[in-house]
Amino acid sequence: MRRFVQFGPRLGASLGLVLTLSGCAGVGNFLADTISFDTNPNIPRGDSMNMRRVQGLAAPVEAIQSEPGNVWPKGVEPLPTLQDLENEGRRPDAPRPTRPAGTPVGSVTPLPGLYQPSLYQTQTGPAAVTGGTEHYQTVNTQTGSGIALPNGNGTTTLIRADGSVETVLTPR
């Protein structure tokens, strides 16, 4: 008898804890929802592949089919070539401008619009502007022709016909 009295408060606390777990639903609903699976009105319903797997049923697996056609993105557009820059602003059927006979190699053709430098100082000597647009200029140097591309930070990149590249200060 004495042993029962010793476990009495613990048994009462355990029973009180079980009753508080039911909350507002009541003990009957709590036990029905936790013990019985068929009578629960809130059980998830469905027959999708995931539901069949959760319920332990066989879930058919369909083979993955490849998509027809090219599924890869188009890619990046190619950068313009020097020829594209030189042809910019010109009609495709227009003849390519040539230097008139008797004109010296270093002669400067005035460009319309904003002030454009007419001479760049390079490591191999001066580069004279012979034409172009506001985005680029064609130049003649002692070693051949090339294209001058302004960088917008006070410098200009000169690309010569032989492929050599040089960055020079843009004259003001």
Stretch 49-62: mean pLDDT: 85
Separation between Cα atoms, residue 141 and residue 118, nearest integer Å: 12
pLDDT for the residue numbered 110: 47
- Mean pLDDT (the chain, rounded): 75
12-25 tens-digit pLDDT: 777 777 667 656 66
pLDDT for the residue numbered 6: 55
Burial of 79-111, coded b for 16+ CB within 10 Å and e otherwise, reads eeeeeebbeeeeeeeeeeeeeeeeeeebebeeb
Q: How confident is the model at residue 75 (pLDDT cuts 50, 70, 90)?
A: confident
CB contact at 8 A, 97 and 133: no
Greatest mean pLDDT among 54-68, 88-102, 112-126: 54-68
3-state secondary structure the chain: CHHHHHHHHHHHHHHHHHHHHCCCCCHHHHHHHHHCCCCCCCCCCCCCHHHHHHCCCCCCCCCCCCCCCCCCCCCCCCCCCHHHHHHCCCCCCCCCCCCCCCCCCCCCCCCCCCCCCCEEEECCEEEEEEEECCCCEEEEECCEEEEEEECCCCEEEEEECCCCEEEEECCC
pLDDT for the residue numbered 86: 76
Partner residues linked to 156 by β-bridges: 150, 168
Partner residues linked to 126 by β-bridges: 121
- In the chain, domain spans: 2-54, 104-169
Output the pTM of the full model.
Answer: 0.35
Instruction: Output 167 or 113, whichever has higher pLDDT.
Output: 167
